[in-house]
Structures are given as C-alpha cells and as structure tokens.
Amino acid sequence: MSLSQVHVFYDEESTSYAEALASLADRAYELDLCLDPRMLHEALMRREAQGTTALMCGVSIPHAKSETVLAPAVLVARFAHMVEWSNECGVQVAICLLMPEGEEGLLHLKNLSKIARLLSEEDEAAALLSQKDLEVVRQKILGALSEG
C-alpha cells in the first residue's frame, strides 16, 4: 500500500508535545484516518517515550503503527508557537507518519527514512519551516515519499 495521503495544517495552538500529539490524533480522526483518536494518541506517546522524535532543526517526526489507523498517511502541523518537545527541544513543525498495524514493516521504516532524509538537508528543513503555501509543503513531502 502506498502512502499518498498528506494533510497540512498551519497555526496549530499546542503548547506541549503531549498536546501536539493529541491534536494530531484528533485531526487523523476528523479525516477518517483512524478509528479512535485516544488510542492513536497513546500509540504516539508510547513511541515518544522510547526516544524523542524531535530533530535539532525545529522539526519532529512523530510516528505510530497502530490497529486504529485505517490507511497510511502523513499529517504535517506547523505550530503557532514553538512547542517544547520531550527532549526540551523547540519544535515548530511536526511531520507525523501514521501506518496501520498490519502494514508491511519495511514500508513504515522506508517512509520514515525518506522524511528524515528530506529534513537532513539544512536548506530543505529551513524552507519547510518558512514555507507559507500548504500545497508546496504537501508536494515536497509527497515528492520525498515517492523517491525510490
């Protein structure tokens, strides 16, 4: 199953990483991407407890593989204010990768790697943080995910 759903949201009002992850789970539910936002939030929090998903460039890549997720998707949230993440790092943008529990394990890791590679280039990360056009952000993520 390919990952073709990318949804972008600006000016999210979260003040902590737990609140940000709850907001992402609620958005996934509103978009019919999951059955239970509480269960998805718990899966995202469990993953964060294993080690922070925040990168030093002001971006976090929270991700979860859960039975509540209906289809692979990416949610991109730009926060109205810097959010203190679990490692006390400031995060301006969260790129959240969601995968159904039964999805092939390698697909999850490949997509996570593709997003991380996109962000590893300092210019790309800076451009993503400052981009005002939601469609441009969506296309950048889709482009990174479609690379071989």
Catalytic residues: 63
To 10 degrees, the CA torsion angle through 59, 98, 80, 20? Answer: -100
| Cβ-contact 91, 83 below 8 angstroms | yes
- Running DSSP on this structure, what letter comes out for residue 35? S
How far is residue 87's CA from residue 37's CA, in Å, rounded to a whole number?
24
Q: If 0-12 CB within 10 Å is exposed, 13-18 middle and 19+ buried, where does residue 133 land?
A: exposed
